[in-house]
Amino acid sequence: MSVGSGDKYSAGPQGLGYIYQPRLALLKLVEEPERTGVLIEGQDDLEFVEDGQSRSLGSLKHKTPGENLTDLATDFWKSVRIWLERFSASGRSTSPLRFYLFTTANVAENSFLRDFLEESSTPIVATKASFEAAMAKSAAKIVGEIKVAYEKLTEEERLDFIGRVSIFDANPRITEIPELLSDRLLRPVRREHRQAVIERLEGWWNDLAVRQIAGEKTDPIYGAEVSDKLSAIAEEYRSDNLPITFLGKRPKGVDPESDDRLFVKQLRLLGTSTSRIQSAIIDYYRAFQQRSSWAREDLLVAGEMEEYEDRLVEEWQRYKDFVVESLSADEAEDKLVAAGKEIFRWAEFETSNLRIRERVTEPYVVRGAFHILANGRPLPRVYWHPKFLERIETVLEGAS
């Protein structure tokens, strides 16, 4: 259902508001110096800090397109109620806080709220007078509560409080923010990779935001952290690198005992332990999924993966020939198994230099590639037991 459907039971606008919060927080943070940090759902929707001290509180409002902010806007008065509490609790005139309302709506032309716009040239005394006049005219319960708190301030404190409040209207809508982030952050990144970089940055950011909102992360997220993460992600999209996005991921239902894929059968033929077969299944999964991700993002040069596999097969052939050259045609089975174990050991632990690109150093890329090659049908391109190809029909028949 669309947000603008008019259904009074629709949770769309509220849901967008929740998602808007971390997304706008990221945009505002990258506009500030790197020493600035943000807490999501701190003392307000957003709490900006600098040098460990609260600097400003921001209320966020993602409104229906075309909506205006008027004198009766509940969004404004609810925020003022919160801000008055924070102002009083933090020392009033000695408080370090400023108070911001970020809204996607426009402030109505005839509203006193225009005096609070950041670009307004209205003197604070006049803004204070228009604010008090609006309070006096309103019979709303929330405004009555604000009057009680406001009247506890001295005249100087009231003037001080009013001077701390700013409204930023016509903020970008939630769907517009990724493009703005891309324009402001990703000029050094090749254009065809910018969407992928932003998606990964937002994924990392949203994880941090959830941890903050859940109370698992109590310290601010600083602009410098965003810069460092962005730099690390962008580095993976250089011509000599590829992004690694499946580190730590595991397939569901890993069962080394019942898995009947060919690369697993090869390992069983060597008497490989269950735990090592499990690791092999995980490496296969990660490498397979990683390749699919690279293909979806169009990160590979035409023929690059095929050339990489050819190189792995050539290196495997060289090492296999070295291992088996001392074996006789009628060698005992235990010697054949020992040779197979040695070839597999080499593939697992001595092939880290066989990289698809120079800076792609994650081991599962190489290890998983060998398992993919060992899983080929009708015949695997690599194998461990020296006589596996001679026995493959028996192995497959035994499985069936």
Residue 357 makes CB contacts below 8 A (sequence gap 6+) with 239, 240, 241, 242
With respect to residue 240, please indicate whether it lies within any of the assigned structural domains.
no
Q: Are 233 and 200 in contact (CB under 8 A)?
A: yes
The answer on 104 and 42 residing in a single domain is yes
pLDDT digits (tens, 9 = 90+) for 141-176: 999 999 999 999 999 999 999 999 999 999 999 999
The answer on 75 and 214 residing in a single domain is yes
State whether residue 167 is helix, strand or coil. Answer: strand
The answer on 98 and 226 residing in a single domain is yes
- Among residues 232, 228, 220, 286, the alpha carbon closest in space to that of 254 is found at 286
With respect to residue 349, please indicate whether it lies within any of the assigned structural domains.
yes
With respect to residue 147, please indicate whether it lies within any of the assigned structural domains.
yes
Chain centre to alpha carbon of residue 118: 32
Q: Let me know how many helices (H) and strands (E) the chain has, helices first.
A: 14, 8
The answer on 218 and 142 residing in a single domain is yes
The CA distances from residue 52 to 95, 215, 334, in Å, are 15, 18, 66
The answer on 222 and 118 residing in a single domain is yes
DSSP string, 29-63: HHTS-TTEEEEETSSSSEEEEETTEEEEEEEEE-P
What is the band of 11 on the pLDDT scale with cuts at 50, 70, 90?
very low
With respect to residue 252, please indicate whether it lies within any of the assigned structural domains.
no
DSSP state for residue 151 in the 8-state scheme: T
With respect to residue 281, please indicate whether it lies within any of the assigned structural domains.
yes
Lowest mean pLDDT among 179-183, 224-228, 231-235, 391-395: 391-395
The answer on 280 and 216 residing in a single domain is no
* Domain assignment of residue 143, given as a range: 9-232
The answer on 184 and 39 residing in a single domain is yes
The answer on 214 and 71 residing in a single domain is yes
Element (H, E) at 68: strand 68-69
The answer on 174 and 63 residing in a single domain is yes
Q: What's the mean per-residue pLDDT of the chain?
A: 91
What is the band of 18 on the pLDDT scale with cuts at 50, 70, 90?
confident
pLDDT at position 322, please? Answer: 97
Question: How many domains does the chain fold into?
Answer: 2
Amino acid in the structure at residue 39: L
The answer on 85 and 197 residing in a single domain is yes
pLDDT digits (tens, 9 = 90+) for 243-281: 999 999 999 989 999 999 999 999 999 999 999 999 999
Report residue 345 as tokens: 């050991």
pLDDT digits (tens, 9 = 90+) for 62-97: 988 888 998 888 999 999 999 999 999 999 999 999
Report residue 298 as tokens: 């169009």
Can you tell me which residue has the tokens 């971390």?
22
Give me the sheet containing 36-40, strands edge to edge. Answer: 165-168, 98-103, 53-61, 46-50, 36-40, 221-222
The answer on 214 and 98 residing in a single domain is yes
